[in-house]
Structure 1
Amino acid sequence: MTFGMPGPVAQLWQGKTPESSEADAGTAQQARGGPPGGGMRRGQATTVVISPLEETSYSLVLRTVGTARSLRKADVTARETGEVVESALKANAHVEKGDVLLRLDDRSQRLSLQVAEAERDQARDTYERYKSLRANGNLTVTDVTLSEAEVALRLAEANVGMARLALEERRVIAPISGRMGLSDVQVGDVVNVGDVIVTIDDSSTLVVEFEIPERSMGLLEIGKTVLLGTPTHAGRVFQGRVTAFDSRLDPVTRSVTVQAEVDNTEGLLWSGMTFTVRMIEETDPLPTVPATAVTWDRSGAGIWVVEDGRAARVPVTIRYRDGERVWLDTTVPVGASVVIEGAAKLREGSMVQDVEALRSAKESNT
């Protein structure tokens, strides 16, 4: 070493030129593993996670609330005014169509029927006697007399029919089969024409009525499956099918009323129950990626596609999102390599290297 001399003078003293000194420095830098000239390495690849672009369907799920009612129900009303003398009304009891539910005082109607039957029997006897005399050649019985006797018999038979009908009207009959509801009518009460005596519900099939918004009208289809749940039977799913829907939207709620039938032969469900309603529609297969694959800039959403080791950003439109996965509209073909992690570090044309490929290479070397 030469102390106290300027650098250039010391180099001349040692017989070195500035050019040879720079060459020696470059050689030393290369020996330490650095690039010539002492600069940082350029073109280094960014490590990311790459996965092929997949295509799956998306399940559109509509959730709403509905109320059930019996498919068939009847309000039993009185057709006559009178005092109740016999009753078979019992809440929740099952009745068959034609069963007698109660009977009104019918003494007057029974007497009327007896009178009508007596008049019919008399008219029949008269007609049969005239007919026999006529057949034996009795000239006193004319055709007119025989015809009048026949008409009288027919009128008497009609009166008997009317008397029987009036007597039957004093009984209240179940119009359908089903379960009876509560009733306040008891023996001794007087009912009037039109009074509701009891309600009968045939709940073997229920109709669940609900509303769906205008944006979900594409789900409407007769026969479409509807999934139903109720807090009474938590965890159990009942299946129904759409049987009818309204022909217009409600102008206030902008929704349409839908009816779905559900089988209830087990008798687990009651009319008036509240149901959670789900309708599911599978879309056509769409490109799908993890949410981490989507990046945003001023132009909107996009994904990074890798080709020949370099990344290029392609704009996309997000159709649906479910948790950590999104479904897209994009021109990127299915199967293309997409960056699903580390996309935020990329620039257009960046060199990339798949972390899985690196890991596999290390494992194969060891």
Structure 2
Amino acid sequence: MKKLFLALLSVVIIAGAYGFAFGVPEPIAQLWGGDSTTETTEAPREARAGRRGQGRATTVVLTPLEARSHTLVLRTVGSAVALRRTEVTATDAGEVVETTLQANSSVEKGDVLLRLDDRTERLALEIAQANRDQAQATVTRYEGLRSNGSSVVTDVALSEARVALRLAEANVGLAEVALDDRTILAPISGQLGLSDVSAGDRLASGDAIVTIDDTSSLLATFEVPERSIGLLAEGKPVLVSTPTYAGRVFEGVVTAFDSRLDSVTRSATVQAEIENPEGLLLSGMTFAVRMTEETDPLPVVPATAITWDRSGAGIWLVEDGSTSRFPVTIRYREGDKVWVETEAPLGGEIVAEGASKLREGAQVTAAGARKGPGA
């Protein structure tokens, strides 16, 4: 008897819960004969139907599809040397008798850097000059005799005298060159580097004496990866900076770049000339190099607007509350913005948030306007 009572109680509890949640079924309400019950049950049913109808529309955030340019930025590291530079070497062997090799001092082209012992060369020049004078006197005497009608001097003798004069003059020229080589002159204008050559040292031909750098212009060399080759063009502006002068930017232009990529690094070597009129930058410095370029305007969307399926990337366009998907090709990324190529019309409303829940032709409602990607 107790079990039967518990069973009946369970049925009553379940029926009451059902009636509370879903209302009294219409046939039972009619058996009771009460219209008020029918009205009571109809109202919750209509409310539930309304809620189900609203659930079919997905709430999303919309934003207009806009187009704007993207700034391509290449950042790399390079080093620089003086655009005009040279290493002065000894052209002849000898003992140093005089030097003006003051480190970091400025010199002009043609200034004397050092002198070698030139006593032998001066004597050789005097001998060559004496032989030339003697040859010149012989030619002058022979020509005087011939002009007076003398037959003592033959044509052969006069010709040989003239040849001897030419040889004597050439020997004078050689002696003068040998003497000039004993004095080392600055081949370019610029600043002297450190030198360990001093008076009394003995130099051999080809020994290094000093370096000269004209740092009014520097030649920066850096590598550009394959993906950024499109930025390269002669005359392209280049911005460089160095930790030595933090916050200061120096300008330059591309002067040359390699015609092929390195097979290992897949990059091209680029040279840029940097003006340095104040002489702040030194040869050998390391630079942070930056190049920029503005692209043509492209559609730009928030990164959250991009969805993926088997066909690739795409965005959702909303028209009259219904969605349609347009494929996109991603060109550039910067932060939460993505520049794409797409056939979606500019100015149309696209789904910026909530796109992952959408299907073709889905009904959507706007949760609120979102500013464009660049705002």
Residue 26 (structure 2) pairs with residue 41 (structure 1): no
TM-aligned CA deviation for residue 234 of structure 1: 1.4
Contact 2:314 2:327 in 1 (8 A): yes
| Match in the other structure for 1:3 | none
1:316 aligns with 2:332: no
TM-score, normalised on structure 1? 0.83
> Which residue is 1:273 aligned to?
285
355, 359, 362: which is aligned to 2:368? 355
Task: Give the deviation of 1:238 after TM superposition.
Answer: 1.9
- Which letter maps to 1:246? D
> What do the CA deviations read for 1:26-63 (whole angstroms, capped 9, x no partner)?
78x4xxxx774764434435554322101112222221
2:268 equivalent in structure 1:
256
Give the drift of 1:208: 1.0
Asked if 1:173 corresponds to 2:185, the answer is yes
Map of 2:220 onto structure 1 = 208
Aligned residues between the structures = 342
CA contact (8 A) 1:26 1:37 kept: no
**Greater mean deviation of Cα atoms: 311-320 or 169-178:** 311-320
Is contact 1:303-1:314 (8 Å) kept? yes
Structure 1 residues 312, 144: closer, same or farther in 2, change over 3 A?
Answer: closer
Q: 1:56-92: CA deviations, max 9, x gaps?
A: 1222222111110122221111111100001111111
Answering whether residue 88 of structure 2 is matched by residue 72 of structure 1, we say: no
Are the counterparts in 2 of residues 26 and 38 from structure 1 also a CA contact under 8 Å? no
Cα separation, partners in 2 of 1:71 and 1:356, compared to 1, 3 Å: closer
Is the CA contact 1:69–1:208 (under 8 Å) kept in the aligned structure 2? yes
Name the structure 2 match of 1:25.
40
Query: Runs ≥4 in structure 1, deviation > 6 angstroms?
Result: none
Contact 1:43–1:351 under 8 Å retained in 2: no
Task: Say if 1:12 and 1:192 are closer, same or farther in 2 by CA, change over 3 A.
Answer: closer
Residue 300 to residue 106, structure 1, CA distance change in 2 (3 Å): same
By how many angstroms is 1:166 displaced? Answer: 0.9
Q: Which residue of 1 aligns with 2:351?
A: 339
Q: 1:221 to 1:325 in 2, by over 3 A?
A: same
Between the aligned partners of 1:173 and 1:297, the Cα distance in structure 2 is 74
Measure, in 2, the Cα distance between the counterparts of 1:142 and 1:345: 118
For 1:297 and 1:141, the matched residues in 2 are separated by 110
Report if aligned partners of 2:106, 2:189 keep a CA contact under 8 Å in 1.
yes
In 2, Cα distance between the equivalents of 1:206 and 1:356? 53
Structure 2 residue matching 1:92: 3-state secondary structure: coil
Q: Find the counterpart in structure 2 of residue 158 from structure 1.
A: 170
Contact 1:294 1:302 in 2 (8 A): yes
- Which range moved further: 116-125 or 192-201? 116-125
Aligned to 1:50: 62
Question: Structure 1 98/308 Cα, relative in aligned 2: closer, same or farther at 3 Å?
Answer: same
Q: Is the 8 A contact 2:105 2:192 kept in 1?
A: yes
Other-structure match for 1:148: 160
SS of equivalent residue, structure 1 residue 355: strand
- What is the CA distance between 1:299 and its match in structure 2? 5.9
Aligned partners of 2:77 and 2:230: how far apart in 1? 18
Q: Verify: 1:292 aligned to 2:307, yes or no.
A: no
User: 1:137 and 1:37 mapped to 2: Cα distance?
Assistant: 146
Gaps of 5+ in 2: 1-23, 371-375
Local SS of the residue matching 1:161: helix
SS of equivalent to 2:51: coil
Give CA deviations for 1:303-333 in whole Å, capped at 9, x if unaligned.
Answer: 3321012233444343322112111232211
Residues 60 and 364, structure 2, Cα contact 8 Å, conserved in 1: no
Structure 2 distance, partners of 1:210, 1:43, is 64
1 CA distance for matches of 2:222 and 2:320? Answer: 55
The two structures, once aligned, show a CA RMSD in angstroms of 2.8
* Equivalent residue letter for 1:283: T
Please report the TM-score for the alignment, with normalisation by the length of structure 2.
Answer: 0.82
Classify the secondary structure of the residue corresponding to 1:228.
strand
- Counterpart residue type for residue 279 of structure 2: G
**Does the residue aligned with 1:41 lie in a helix, a strand or coil?**
helix
Using the TM superposition, give the Cα deviation of residue 355 of structure 1 relative to its aligned residue in structure 2, in angstroms. Answer: 2.3
Deviations 1:80-108 (A, max 9, x none): 11000011111111222222110000011
Q: Deviation at 1:180?
A: 1.3
SS at match of 1:98: coil
Distance 2:231 2:223 in 1: 12
Call closer, same or farther: CA 1:182–1:12 in 2, change over 3 Å.
Answer: closer
